[in-house]
Amino acid sequence: MIQAELSSNFKLSIPKVIQDNLKLQQGQRFVLLERGHIIELIPMQSLQEARGSLAGIAGDTIMDYRDRSERMPD
């Protein structure tokens, strides 16, 4: 398990191994999601990078990403 420490001014450094694996770059922006006691950091992509990434995905597949408790009733 890889760990990180929150600094006194609430900054979190992403360990080098994760930076390399995800090809993160300095200044890159993230979406932060709070799920109970879990914080998810999702790297944002430019529109050019994201183009075509949803091709062939059915609408019901996108809902699978959310927790069941967050889903809206059908």
Per residue in 32-61, pLDDT (tens digit) is: 999 999 999 988 876 666 666 667 766 665
What's the chain's Rg over C-alpha atoms? 16
pLDDT at 11: 94
pLDDT averaged over the chain? 80
At residue 62, what is the residue type?
I
Under DSSP, is residue 35 helix (H, G, I), strand (E, B) or coil?
strand
pLDDT at 73: 58
Under 8 Å between Cβ of 41 and 29: no
**Where are the domains positioned within the chain?**
16-70
| Cα separation values, 58 from 63, 64, 67, Å | 10, 11, 18
- H or E segment and range at residue 41: strand 38-43
